[in-house]
């Protein structure tokens, strides 16, 4: 059901909530009528009429000193209200942390004197203290040392930045540790599961489901499945994955071992293709179809495994860097040094290891920034220019750029010869500053959705009905860039949308008018001369047709 913004006036306190409404409340939406000290708004109306709403609040009570926020919301509007009402006290009344950008928004509120929240990274807390803002934290539940050891984490600050969660053993209290981890972490993208049971997997999915702010991929590693859980429960996993993708913001991917692929591939392909094979299977056309599907299936498995290798090699290199340095300094340092960091610091002093606790923590804080991830991706492929992720598709890939637009049509991220190729940027584009129109290409593979095979989702009404889907990210060493989709279409082969720069405003506007005229859908986004466009291009499933998506770079305040 649709959620609405609710503003409740309680004395000099304004309570900001975001939830579903009952029947009587729905009658008051966008009416600007205060009923029982409460106002009700849709998100779109609230954004467009924020100044008028603030005037209504002031006219009802010209003094407010506190704001209480009940849910994770778009905090730039909360910060704006606080600035206008000159709020001194903020309470974030939910068990979760915020993005660093959101904390920075509240630092701009000059009148703020105190902030109560569940968790805040220490260096952000110090920034508030520098502005004489008191910070009160109430994360009283603690993550166990056992969990910290599993994640190679020194403290909560490293957990805050962590993008990958590894579940390598089941133990009493594991679910409580994961629950607390989700509360203090804001960057999780991947969960690797190496131990298996229906109860454990279901409980982990429930925890992710209840965290509305996340899009998480869960990898089940078949090579560690000694008891055959995955193969025995394949139908259950398939059904659960369908529920996850349709109702929650997560999905499964099974990472098969090389031995499993070798021993079971033919059986799996036979099972998948039986539904397609009819009495005409004796004809060459059907045999050809089976061969094509077999190769697509192999490519799908290899690319899933490749993505896991990229993630593991990237984050493992970062996670182990500090431990390796300490071990090189003195081979007698025990493997369990993380269990008690203070004892380790003392031991390091005695053994003449020069790094201080602050230096170790500062290094760990930095390692999850994309700049660090980028360095490791460059070690795998020196032509990496960024990382592209689109919600509710299979598109989550490093992007590369060669000196021409042919090489990555038939080479993968490891530069090995592969017909599925890789996702790559036009050789004419500047990956650092972006051109007027930056173009990214990828093969279309409908069979298993690899590369740009799920780009077609964007043309469906159901996909676009989720407004969050319309914004995707492209990480570069310069930072995370957010793009908003404004046009998409299929067109017979042409190069008129592959122009990278425009000499004047007239040519730019003519280009935007052309692509919007082709689009299967319309948006109200304004595209002006000087805006940066990102174009995604692939085949349209056969022949010379192309599937093209256009998005505009969002400015930082959007």
Could you report the per-residue pLDDT of 207-250, keeping only the tens digit for each? 887 765 567 888 888 887 778 888 888 888 888 888 887 777 77
The whole-model pTM stands at 0.51
In the predicted model, what is the mean pLDDT of the chain? 80
The more confidently predicted of residues 372 and 67 is 67
Each residue of 317-357: pLDDT tens digit?
444 444 344 334 333 333 333 333 445 555 555 555 555 54
Lowest mean pLDDT among 311-315, 335-339, 436-440: 335-339
Each residue of 41-82: pLDDT tens digit?
999 999 999 999 999 999 998 899 999 999 888 899 999 999
Domains of the chain and CATH, by start: 4-137 (no CATH), 382-553 (2.40.260.10)
Q: For residue 287, give both structure tokens.
A: 């045999």
**What pLDDT, on a 0 to 100 scale, did the predictor assign at position 336?**
36
The more confidently predicted of residues 489 and 186 is 489
Q: Which residue bears the tokens 């637009």?
A: 405
**What pLDDT, on a 0 to 100 scale, did the predictor assign at position 289?**
47
Instruction: Sort strands 533-539 and 437-441 into parallel, antiparallel or unpaired.
Output: parallel
**What pLDDT, on a 0 to 100 scale, did the predictor assign at position 255?**
78
The arithmetic mean of pLDDT across residues 298-302, rounded, is 58
The arithmetic mean of pLDDT across residues 493-506, rounded, is 91
Alpha carbon distance 489, 496 (integer Å): 14
Contact between 9 and 57 under an 8 Å Cβ cutoff? The reply is yes
The arithmetic mean of pLDDT across residues 465-478, rounded, is 89
Q: Using a CB cutoff of 8 Å and minimum separation of 24, what contacts does 396-405 make?
A: 396/217, 396/307, 397/307, 397/422, 397/423, 397/442, 397/451, 398/310, 398/423, 399/423, 399/424, 399/425, 399/440, 399/474, 400/424, 400/425, 401/425, 401/426, 401/427, 401/429, 401/431, 402/427, 403/427, 405/441
Percent of the chain with pLDDT over 90: 39
Nearest to 370 by CA among 319, 325, 307, 315: 315
Contact between 111 and 96 under an 8 Å Cβ cutoff? The reply is no
Q: Which residues sit opposite 548 in a β-bridge? A: 489, 537
Whether pLDDT at 2 is above 90:
no
Confidence of residue 290 (pLDDT cuts 50, 70, 90): very low
Q: For residue 12, give both structure tokens.
A: 């000099």
């Amino acid at each position: 059901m649709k959620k609405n913004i609710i503003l409740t006036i309680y004395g000099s306190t304004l309570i900001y909530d975001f939830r579903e409404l009952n029947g009587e409340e729905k009658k008051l939406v966008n009416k600007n009528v205060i009923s029982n000290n409460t106002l009700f708004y849709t998100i779109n109306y609230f954004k467009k009429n924020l100044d008028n709403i603030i005037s209504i609040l002031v006219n009802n009570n010209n003094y407010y000193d506190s704001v209480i926020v009940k849910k994770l919301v778009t905090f730039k509007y909360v910060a704006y209200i606080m600035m206008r009402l000159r709020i001194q006290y903020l309470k974030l009344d939910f068990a979760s942390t915020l993005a660093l950008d959101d904390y920075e928004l509240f630092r701009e509120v000059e009148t703020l004197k105190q902030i109560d929240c569940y968790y805040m990274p220490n260096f952000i807390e110090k920034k508030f203290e520098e502005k004489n803002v008191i910070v009160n934290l109430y994360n009283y539940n603690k993550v166990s040392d056992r969990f910290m050891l599993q994640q190679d984490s020194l403290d909560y600050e490293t957990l805050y930045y962590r993008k990958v969660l590894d579940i390598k053993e089941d133990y009493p209290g594991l679910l409580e540790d994961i629950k607390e981890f989700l509360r203090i972490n804001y960057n999780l993208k991947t969960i690797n599961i190496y131990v298996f049971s229906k109860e454990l997997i279901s409980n982990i999915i429930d925890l992710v489901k209840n965290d509305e702010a996340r899009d998480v991929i869960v990898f089940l590693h078949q090579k560690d499945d000694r008891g055959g859980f995955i193969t025995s429960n394949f139908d259950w996993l398939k059904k659960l994955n369908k529920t996850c993708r349709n109702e929650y913001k997560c999905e499964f991917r099974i990472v098969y071992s090389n031995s499993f692929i070798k021993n079971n591939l033919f059986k799996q392909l036979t099972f998948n293709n039986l539904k397609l094979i009819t009495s005409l299977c004796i004809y060459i056309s059907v045999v050809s179809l089976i061969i094509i599907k077999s190769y697509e299936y192999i490519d799908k498995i290899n690319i899933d495994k490749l993505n896991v290798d990229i993630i593991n090699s990237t984050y493992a290199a970062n996670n182990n860097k500090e431990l390796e340095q300490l071990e090189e300094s003195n081979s007698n340092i025990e493997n369990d040094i993380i269990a008690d960091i203070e004892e380790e610091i003392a031991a390091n002093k005695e053994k003449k290891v020069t790094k201080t606790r602050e230096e170790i923590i500062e290094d760990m804080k930095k390692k999850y920034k994309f700049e660090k991830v980028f360095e490791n991706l460059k070690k795998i492929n020196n032509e990496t220019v960024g990382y592209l992720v689109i919600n509710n598709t299979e598109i989550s890939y490093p992007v590369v750029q060669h000196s021409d637009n042919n090489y990555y049509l038939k080479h993968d991220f490891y530069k090995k010869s592969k017909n599925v190729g890789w996702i790559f940027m036009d050789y004419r584009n500047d990956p650092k500053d972006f051109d007027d129109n930056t173009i990214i290409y990828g093969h279309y593979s409908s069979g298993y959705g690899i590369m740009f095979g799920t780009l077609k989702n964007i043309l469906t009404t159901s996909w676009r009905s989720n407004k969050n889907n319309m914004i995707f990210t492209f990480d570069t060493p310069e930072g995370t860039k957010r793009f908003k989709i404004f046009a998409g279409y299929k067109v017979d082969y042409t190069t008129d949308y592959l122009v990278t720069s425009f000499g004047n405003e007239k040519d730019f506007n003519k280009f935007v008018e052309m692509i919007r005229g082709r689009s299967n859908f319309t948006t109200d986004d304004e595209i002006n001369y000087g805006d940066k466009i990102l174009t995604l291009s692939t085949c349209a499933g056969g022949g010379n047709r192309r599937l093209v998506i256009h998005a505009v770079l969002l400015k930082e305040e959007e």
